[in-house]
């Protein structure tokens, strides 16, 4: 990067295929695209490209962080190891100056340069880049004053308010029209939820309408093409049909019963003007299907002509109703749009989607040079990941930049687009995989593919190839639009191959138990539906896998969130902790609910149930609520607590309540209370005057359960980018043909262009009457099925070793409904065979795959899967200690370790990655020292008490047990135990571990967490060991900080450097513990104890 001005163009070399400067790469699941992206980024940096000239973007913040982390890790490894440096250079593109990082010195130089300009390297999500761009044009885009992106809870609140305001302004007729529109002709009771679901996509489509269209809603010329129904004509048609010459039975000369009932049904439907009843008759169905007979009798020409007239009038009527509903919904969307934008402007809180639209509508990205000037850097090189999930709106905002970059000289501009249409699962929120194809054609990008999986075993990939490689021949797809969707999806499919050919694997398709037959169930039998039985079996399978492989990660992937909650509850009832999507709601803990009830009472003292809940817990005594039934007392308590929240802040006040409740709760609830305290501290930055705002935020917050990370239950969409040792997939029996999506469809002839019209979604029977709407409906069906196929592909390819699919059993007949389960069944076994309850439908690989005879590296991984994951250790002392602050401030979060080295920190120590063994060694030594309350007087005492160390073999066994929990992969445990037992006997170490070295009455605390306020921020940390010494002049504290650095004894320059480095951290510990314990800082000692060196230093 050095030697070039920021404005100077760097000439790059040339490459071929996947190495081309301008490339489009289709990357299959698990094929290492993050590695490839980091190689491209490193290639540009190694060639001297300034960081600010590169924009690398991906779909999630987590993925963006992984790309940047991979760049720094690979440079760090190369800087420390010549072999790693040579491997790094070999992995860079052919057009790059790879020789510049082929040595440790070259890697060190590039790493140092990059570190100095790391803030200039743009590795973002597209949303984050748009946020920067909008911030640069805030005044021009009408975002003057303070504004920010709202979280999901805040966004939902604004959307609900906007819907309420629009509904309040509607007249009775308009309201009925909206109810019919969202209910597809029927009135629904859940008005708000139905409208919000509709508006989630309709509002975006409305904002994407091409400018200048005066009447974009409904069917073109519907008023003349489909005139309103004439009741008189319908009555006449109802009378005509029975008067015709109808077929009669030969025996009794009467009209056949089926004919009579159908004619009566048609007549009743016509008189009631109920088109659905008319078209639902069997006789009409036969006519529409082109058949010439019904119930064994001919449909004569005369009868057929009347039926055709009836069908024509009914279809015209239905199309007229759908068109009217579309226009009514359109007017509602227009009003909603203005109302929701007004509310967002008032509050200064926008959604990420607003930012992209602001850039498009304001033209901020149309002039890239002006944008670069505002952003203080020109983008000349573009790396875009997960491009198949880019929405049309995002692309329209980004396209001017891409076009400008690709218009430059090819040797000076690099573009690397990575995507996989097979993994496009976000069509429901605007993702458009066809953008990739248009880019390839429009800009002549070189296309290549990554199809070797670095994740899954060959057994799993064989399954992928069998299922998806044969889709065109799969008889589950019978309709024209289904064939079109399969052909479009298959355009990006190549046979998958495994990088780790020795990796074992297994897959199975298991049939769930049948639900309870209510007629056969006894009085005492519990009724269980088929779906409930399937979810219960799924939980049983997960529990069995977890018991067998306690160290394995298990992903349970569902199509919807609700089934995941049921599986989570089943596992919890079996004593197995699991984490839901994004974690688990904090409100799953009774003591957390008690604190939220207290906050509700503060906001509304008249809330009797909240007062009662507070009064029945230890929290009532803590806050002085002696009579929960007394509203005046609740008002006094609430007023006092509201003042405390304003004065001290949520972190301090809620943290105090948490500390009071911790001794009364079990480990799980203690963990949830600590997470609530952390959330309260984070809330400081956006606290309002209403405690209910905090309550709502907590209710919407989700946090991972300690110890629940081994099993994660989430939707398939949330699993994107993740991988698991084992994947379990239930809920594949839902039909892919069911009508889904909004009542209106966007007509977008150009996949990347604006919307030209919003038309109603038509049922199959009406499509032929409106060809222009039929095209839009067909396109929507193709896109929906394409998303379904991609979701199935994504789910199957998340696993490394094993896949367990649980499907529903067949009923009285074999199910032919198109679904994920049907696609698998037809691809893997006899499509006509019945799926009997509790049977194994198909399987492949080794059911006991974890016992396979494999090479050493893979064997170690399998061994780790059979070992329990590190346990969540119980702590009797509070994990959160808060000291009061005289006034509320909005403070930055600090950590003592962040203060190490003072204001100057050696760059090599920040960027160098410690060896894995060194990290494990340090963690083990700290964990072992935490276990020691006091060493016995006699080191050889084998009768030491439970809290003591020193017992020979029992003590060693305990250290080994802690090692398995803390660092299961560390393979030199016994050697380290020998050294540890020597280290703690050194005089400068053991004196802090023996009670006899300190005055009588000295107490010890280990691993003492704290959160305190400082003028420069909120300081949070954990002190290793704290001694409290009684003294007539006031208690003294001794704060000990264990260090495991590999340094020499007294006189070693490295020891002196380490002491200087750690002093700011220990000073922070001293001040914090003094405030927490109420001891003046002048009576607090701080000691650095270098365990391996046997040295201690007072700071």
Contact call for residues 1031 and 1079 (beta carbons, < 8 A): no
pLDDT, tens digit (0-9, with 9 covering 90-100), for 200-215: 888 999 999 998 888 8
Structure tokens at 626: 């002696």
Contact call for residues 742 and 329 (beta carbons, < 8 A): no
Residue 942 has pLDDT above 50, yes or no: no
Which of 431, 450, 469 terminates a domain? The answer is 450
Which of 624, 626, 628, 631 shows the shortest CA–CA distance to 613? 628
pLDDT, tens digit (0-9, with 9 covering 90-100), for 227-278: 888 899 999 999 998 898 899 988 888 999 999 999 999 999 999 989 888 9
How far, in Å, CA of 643 to CA of 689, rounded? Answer: 10
Task: Please tell me whether residues 292 and 334 are part of one structural domain.
Answer: yes
| DSSP of 855-901 | -HHHHHHHHHHHSPPPP----SS-S--B---SS-----EE-GGGGTT
Assigned domain for 631 exists: yes
Contact call for residues 1083 and 1035 (beta carbons, < 8 A): yes
How far, in Å, CA of 890 to CA of 969, rounded? Answer: 41
The whole domain housing 687 covers 584-703
How far, in Å, CA of 736 to CA of 357, rounded? Answer: 32
**pLDDT given at position 894:** 56
How far, in Å, CA of 529 to CA of 513, rounded? Answer: 10
Structure tokens at 596: 């939220």
| DSSP of 478-496 | -SHHHHHHHHHHHTT----
208, 399, 701, 784 from 204: Cα distances, Å? 6, 18, 26, 18
How far, in Å, CA of 715 to CA of 729, rounded? Answer: 10
CATH of the domain at 422: 3.40.50.300
Which of 849, 879, 910 terminates a domain? The answer is 849
Assigned domain for 332 exists: yes
**pLDDT given at position 176:** 67
Task: Please tell me whether residues 181 and 136 are part of one structural domain.
Answer: no
**pLDDT given at position 747:** 93
User: What is the mean predicted confidence (pLDDT) over 362-380?
Assistant: 85
User: What is the mean predicted confidence (pLDDT) over 638-663?
Assistant: 89
**pLDDT given at position 598:** 93
Cα 842 to the center of its chain, rounded Å? 31
Q: Which residues contact 512 (CB under 8 A, 6 or more apart)?
A: 530, 533, 534, 537, 538, 730, 806, 807, 808, 809, 837, 838
How far, in Å, CA of 1011 to CA of 681, rounded? Answer: 9
Task: Please tell me whether residues 1042 and 941 are part of one structural domain.
Answer: yes
How far, in Å, CA of 1070 to CA of 1038, rounded? Answer: 8
**pLDDT given at position 1004:** 93
**pLDDT given at position 64:** 86
Classified as helix, coil or strand, 198 is helix
**pLDDT given at position 886:** 41
CATH of the domain at 1028: 3.90.320.10
Number of domains in the chain: 5
How far, in Å, CA of 1063 to CA of 419, rounded? Answer: 49
Residue 388 has pLDDT above 70, yes or no: yes
Please report where in the chains the tokens 């779906």 appear, as a residue: 531
User: What is the mean predicted confidence (pLDDT) over 429-456?
Assistant: 85
Residue 940 has pLDDT above 50, yes or no: no
Contact call for residues 681 and 655 (beta carbons, < 8 A): yes
- In eight-state DSSP terms, residue 829 is S
Assigned domain for 491 exists: no
**pLDDT given at position 1052:** 80
pLDDT, tens digit (0-9, with 9 covering 90-100), for 278-326: 988 999 989 888 899 998 899 999 999 999 999 999 998 988 888 888 8
Q: What are the φ/ψ torsions at residue 748 (nearest 5 degrees)?
A: -125, 85
Classified as helix, coil or strand, 271 is helix
Residue 578 has pLDDT above 50, yes or no: yes
Assigned domain for 458 exists: no
Task: Please tell me whether residues 970 and 994 are part of one structural domain.
Answer: yes
Assigned domain for 470 exists: no
The percent of the chain in helix, strand and coil, each rounded to the nearest 5, is 50, 15, 35
**pLDDT given at position 875:** 40
Classified as helix, coil or strand, 336 is helix
Residue 90 has pLDDT above 90, yes or no: yes
Structure tokens at 1048: 């020499």
Classified as helix, coil or strand, 689 is coil
Q: What is the largest CA-CA distance in the chain?
A: 120
How far, in Å, CA of 151 to CA of 139, rounded? Answer: 23
How far, in Å, CA of 214 to CA of 869, rounded? Answer: 63
pLDDT, tens digit (0-9, with 9 covering 90-100), for 863-907: 999 988 654 444 433 344 444 444 344 445 455 655 555 545 444
Task: Please tell me whether residues 124 and 45 are part of one structural domain.
Answer: yes
Task: Please tell me whether residues 196 and 336 are part of one structural domain.
Answer: yes
Q: What are the φ/ψ torsions at residue 219 (nearest 5 degrees)?
A: -85, 135
Which of 433, 450, 467 terminates a domain? The answer is 450
Classified as helix, coil or strand, 144 is coil
Assigned domain for 874 exists: no
Classified as helix, coil or strand, 26 is strand
Per mean pLDDT, which of 381-395, 534-548, 925-939, 1023-1037 is the most reliable? 534-548
Residue 535 has pLDDT above 80, yes or no: yes
Task: Please tell me whether residues 224 and 139 are part of one structural domain.
Answer: no
Structure tokens at 147: 């504004």
Assigned domain for 858 exists: no
In the chain, % of residues over pLDDT 90? 35
Task: Please tell me whether residues 190 and 331 are part of one structural domain.
Answer: yes
104, 916, 961, 977, 978 from 971: Cα distances, Å? 29, 11, 13, 12, 14
CA angle 219, 221, 224 (to 5 degrees): 125
How far, in Å, CA of 13 to CA of 96, rounded? Answer: 6
Structure tokens at 549: 């492989």
Residue 1021 has pLDDT above 90, yes or no: no
**pLDDT given at position 18:** 47
Task: Please tell me whether residues 787 and 801 are part of one structural domain.
Answer: yes
Q: Which residues contact 294 (CB under 8 A, 6 or more apart)?
A: 258, 259, 262, 282, 283, 286
Structure tokens at 861: 């991984």
**Total Cβ atoms within 10 A of residue 592:** 22
Residue 2 has pLDDT above 50, yes or no: no
Task: Please tell me whether residues 106 and 250 are part of one structural domain.
Answer: no
How far, in Å, CA of 155 to CA of 696, rounded? Answer: 12
Per mean pLDDT, which of 25-34, 170-179, 464-473, 897-906 is the most reliable? 464-473
Task: Please tell me whether residues 325 and 388 are part of one structural domain.
Answer: no
- In eight-state DSSP terms, residue 755 is B
Assigned domain for 202 exists: yes
Task: Please tell me whether residues 419 and 566 are part of one structural domain.
Answer: no
When the pLDDT of each residue in the chain is averaged and rounded to a whole number, the result is 84
User: What is the mean predicted confidence (pLDDT) over 773-791?
Assistant: 89
User: What is the mean predicted confidence (pLDDT) over 656-683?
Assistant: 87
Of the two residues 896 and 551, the one the predictor is more confident about is: 551
pLDDT, tens digit (0-9, with 9 covering 90-100), for 152-194: 778 888 888 898 888 888 877 676 667 666 655 444 445 566 7
């Amino acid at each position: 990067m050095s030697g070039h001005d920021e404005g100077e163009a760097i000439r790059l070399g040339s490459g071929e295929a996947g190495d081309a400067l301008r490339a489009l790469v289709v990357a299959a699941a698990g094929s290492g695209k993050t590695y490839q992206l980091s190689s491209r980024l490193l290639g540009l940096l190694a060639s001297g490209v300034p960081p600010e000239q590169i924009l690398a973007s991906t779909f999630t913040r987590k993925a963006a962080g992984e790309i940047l982390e991979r760049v720094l890790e690979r440079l760090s490894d190369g800087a420390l190891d010549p072999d790693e440096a040579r491997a790094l250079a070999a992995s860079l593109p052919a057009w790059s100056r790879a020789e510049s990082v082929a040595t440790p010195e070259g890697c060190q130089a590039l790493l140092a340069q990059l570190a100095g300009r790391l803030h200039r390297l743009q590795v973002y999500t597209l949303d984050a880049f748009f946020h920067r761009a909008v911030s640069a044009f805030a005044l021009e885009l009408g975002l003057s004053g303070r504004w920010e992106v709202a979280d999901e809870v805040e966004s939902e609140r604004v959307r609900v308010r906007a819907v309420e305001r629009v509904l309040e302004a509607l007249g009775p007729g308009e309201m009925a029209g909206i109810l019919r529109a969202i209910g597809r002709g029927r009135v629904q009771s859940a008005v708000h939820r139905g409208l919000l679901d509709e508006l989630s996509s309709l509002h975006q489509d409305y904002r994407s309408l091409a400018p200048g269209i005066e009447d974009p809603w409904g069917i073109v010329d519907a008023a003349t093409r489909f005139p309103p129904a004439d009741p008189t004509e319908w009555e006449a048609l109802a009378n005509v049909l029975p008067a015709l010459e109808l077929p009669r039975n030969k025996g009794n000369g009467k009209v056949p019963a089926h004919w009579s009932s159908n004619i009566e049904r048609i007549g009743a439907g016509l008189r009631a003007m109920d088109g659905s009843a008319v078209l639902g008759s069997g006789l009409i169905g036969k006519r529409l299907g082109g058949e010439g007979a019904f119930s064994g009798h001919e449909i004569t020409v005369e009868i057929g002509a009347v039926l055709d007239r009836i069908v024509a009038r009914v279809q015209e009527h239905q199309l007229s109703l759908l068109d009217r509903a579309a226009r009514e919904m359109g007017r509602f969307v227009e009003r909603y749009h203005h109302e929701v934008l007004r509310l967002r402007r008032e509050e200064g809180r926008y959604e990420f989607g607003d930012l992209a639209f602001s850039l498009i509508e304001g033209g901020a990205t149309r002039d890239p040079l002006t944008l670069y000037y505002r952003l203080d850097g020109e983008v000349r090189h573009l790396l875009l990941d997960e491009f198949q999930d880019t929405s049309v709106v995002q692309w329209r905002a980004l396209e001017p930049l891409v076009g400008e970059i690709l218009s430059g000289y090819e040797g000076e501009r690099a573009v690397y687009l990575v995507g996989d249409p097979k993994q496009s699962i976000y069509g429901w929120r605007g993702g458009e995989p066809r953008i990739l194809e248009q880019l390839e054609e429009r800009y002549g990008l070189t296309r290549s593919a990554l199809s070797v999986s670095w994740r899954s075993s060959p057994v799993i990939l064989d399954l992928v190839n069998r299922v998806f490689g044969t889709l065109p021949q799969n008889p589950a797809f019978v309709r024209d639009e289904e064939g079109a969707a399969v052909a479009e999806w298959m355009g990006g499919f190549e046979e998958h191959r495994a990088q780790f050919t020795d990796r074992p694997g297994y897959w199975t398709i298991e049939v769930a138990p049948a639900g309870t037959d209510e007629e056969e169930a006894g009085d005492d039998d519990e009724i269980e539906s088929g779906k409930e039985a399937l979810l219960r079996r799924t939980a049983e399978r997960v529990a069995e896998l977890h018991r067998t492989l306690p160290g394995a990660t298990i992903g349970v992937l569902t199509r919807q969130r609700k089934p995941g909650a049921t599986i989570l509850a089943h596992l919890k009832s079996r004593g197995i902790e699991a984490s839901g999507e994004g974690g688990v709601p904090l409100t799953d803990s009774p003591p957390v609910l008690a604190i939220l009830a207290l906050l509700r009472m503060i906001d509304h003292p008249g809330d009797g149930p909240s007062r009662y809940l507070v009064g029945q817990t230890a929290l009532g005594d803590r806050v002085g609520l002696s009579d929960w039934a007394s509203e005046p007392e609740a008002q006094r308590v609430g007023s006092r607590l509201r003042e405390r929240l304003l004065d001290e802040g949520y972190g301090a006040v809620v943290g105090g309540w948490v500390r009071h409740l911790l001794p009364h709760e079990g480990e799980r609830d203690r963990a949830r209370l600590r997470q609530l305290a952390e959330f309260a501290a984070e809330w400081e930055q956006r606290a309002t005057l209403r405690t209910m705002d905090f309550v709502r935020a907590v209710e919407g917050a989700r946090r991972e359960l300690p110890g629940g990370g081994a099993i994660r239950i989430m939707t398939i969409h949330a699993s994107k980018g993740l991988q698991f040792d084992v994947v379990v997939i239930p809920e594949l029996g839902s039909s892919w043909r069911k009508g889904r999506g909004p009542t209106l469809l966007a007509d977008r002839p150009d996949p990347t262009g604006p919307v030209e019209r919003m038309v109603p979604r038509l049922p199959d029977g009406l499509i032929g009457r409106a060809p222009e709407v039929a095209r839009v409906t067909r396109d929507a069906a193709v896109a929906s099925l394409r998303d379904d196929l991609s979701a199935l592909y994504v789910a199957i390819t998340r696993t490394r070793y094993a896949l367990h699919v649980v499907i529903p059993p067949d009923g009285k007949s074999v199910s032919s409904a198109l679904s994920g389960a049907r696609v698998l069944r037809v691809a893997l076994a006899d499509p006509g065979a019945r799926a009997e309850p509790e049977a194994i439908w198909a399987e492949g690989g080794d059911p006991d795959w974890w016992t396979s005879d494999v090479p050493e590296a893979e064997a170690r991984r399998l061994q780790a899967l059979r070992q329990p994951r590190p346990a969540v250790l119980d702590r009797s002392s509070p994990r959160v200690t808060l000291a009061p602050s005289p006034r509320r401030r909005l403070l930055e979060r600090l950590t003592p370790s962040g203060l190490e080295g003072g204001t100057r920190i050696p760059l090599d120590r920040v960027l160098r990655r410690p060896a894995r063994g060194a990290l494990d060694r340090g963690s083990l030594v700290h964990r072992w020292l935490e276990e020691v309350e006091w060493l016995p007087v006699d080191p050889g005492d084998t009768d030491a008490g439970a809290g003591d160390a020193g017992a020979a073999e029992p003590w060693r066994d305990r250290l080994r047990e802690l090692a398995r929990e803390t660092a299961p992969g560390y393979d030199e445990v016994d050697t380290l135990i020998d050294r540890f037992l020597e280290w703690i006997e050194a005089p400068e170490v053991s004196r802090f571990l023996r009670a006899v070295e300190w005055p009588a009455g000295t107490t010890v605390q280990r691993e003492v967490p704290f959160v305190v306020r400082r003028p420069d921020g909120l300081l949070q940390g954990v002190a290793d060991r704290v001694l409290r010494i009684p003294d007539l002049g006031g208690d003294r504290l001794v704060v000990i900080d264990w260090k495991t650095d590999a340094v020499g004894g007294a006189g070693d320059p490295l020891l002196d450097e380490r002491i200087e480095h750690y002093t700011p951290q220990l000073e922070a510990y001293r001040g914090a513990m003094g405030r927490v314990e109420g001891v003046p800082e002048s009576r607090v000692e701080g000691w650095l104890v270098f365990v391996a060196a046997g040295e201690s230093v007072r700071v």
